[in-house]
Copies of this chain bind each other. A is one copy, B any other.
């Protein structure tokens, strides 16, 4: 951390700060220029995290030099995390496909979807049971009943299950039925929930918040891992910008940024990122080429009868076409489906 002093800061004010740093067990290095003095702080800045140095007399501002997250930080953990769930490895040299409807709507719907997706090579079945919806008048999900259908469909076709939890009660309801727990964009900074899923033994699929910076997202992952669950998968799903031609703006650059900053596996959700069915396949190709670890895609047997997000859902036939188009790109990238 660097402390930048105000141009008019005097010797007394500078000594004062150096003193405070020394008392906290830190070293201070002064650089005095023509305009102002800066103080380099050497040591673990958490020792003065609550000291409000920026408010001490003569201080202009603090400049952080190192990141606040440690456990998810590649600098301190160079080995890539590989999440194992059933016989699927996420974060290794495979490209993993998660697919299914936005919401579980009926036993028939989810069985029909699972059958077709398992034939298309999908190993992980998705489906929402607890749906966070902008309007209270929209379909809110089937709850536990939906999870039972989802589990049964997955078991029938030899698949694993992922589903979103929207709070601690939903987590308790969902845990027996799911193999991977999804935290949605709206709950990325629901810290109570992050801590709680950090205490489970199941992999966590952490979607990026709609307006979360990459640093905030990594701090959210740090919350989970700090509770001793290091099975975290990140999922970029589009950020909110001024552009309205798509539902959100897929931040594809987040993938190379995350590769540089963290050892965790990274997925892309092209369906929520764009919100328009016709754009999903081109974005899936881009995702394969940018070298993320997998995709989560919305697939519905009858998008025109879907109770949520129909506009962005592929049919099972579209999904087969998606796989056909990304397969040769994955070959180029040295990844197997």
Contact = CB atoms under 8 A, between A and B. Distances in A.
Interface in A115-149: 130, 132-140
B2 A63 contact: yes
A199 interface: no
A63 B63 contact: yes
A171 B4 CA distance: 41
A38 to B, nearest CB: 5
A311 interface: yes
Given A43-B33, A168-B167, A213-B243, A283 B65 contact: no
Contact of A282 (B34, B36, B256): B256
Contact of A256 (B49, B139, B216, B283): B283
A306 B52 contact: yes
A contacts with B: majority SS: mixed
A63 B240 CA distance: 21
A170 B189 contact: no
A243 B239 contact: yes
Nearest to A68: B135
A306 to B, nearest CB: 6
B168 A168 contact: yes
A108 to B, nearest CB: 16
A290 interface: yes
A222 interface: yes
A77 B138 CA distance: 22
A286 B333 CA distance: 12
A179 to B, nearest CB: 23
Contact of A135 (B35, B222, B242, B256): B222
A289 interface: yes
Contact of A286 (B134, B286, B303, B311): B286
For the complex formed by this chain, how many copies does it contain in all? 4
B222 A136 contact: yes
A42 B49 contact: no
Contact of A166 (B38, B170, B191, B291): B191
A310 interface: yes
Interface in A1-59: 2, 4, 7, 27, 29-36, 38, 40-44, 46, 49-52, 54-56
B167 A193 contact: yes
Contact of A243 (B169, B251, B310): B251
A101 to B, nearest CB: 12
A43 B50 contact: no
A164 to B, nearest CB: 12
A51 to B, nearest CB: 8
Contacts of A29: 29-31, 40
Interface of A: 2, 4, 7, 27, 29-36, 38, 40-44, 46, 49-52, 54-56, 63, 65-66, 68-69, 75, 130, 132-140, 166-170, 186-187, 189-193, 210-211, 213-216, 219, 222-223, 226, 239-246, 249-257, 259-260, 273-274, 278-279, 282-283, 285-291, 303-308, 310-311, 328-329, 332
Q: What 6 pairs across the A-B complex have the smallest Cβ distances?
A: A31-B40, A211-B211, A29-B31, A289-B289, A52-B310, A55-B304
9 contacts: A2-B40, A31-B40, A33-B43, A52-B306, A54-B311, A167-B167, A211-B240, A214-B243, A243-B251
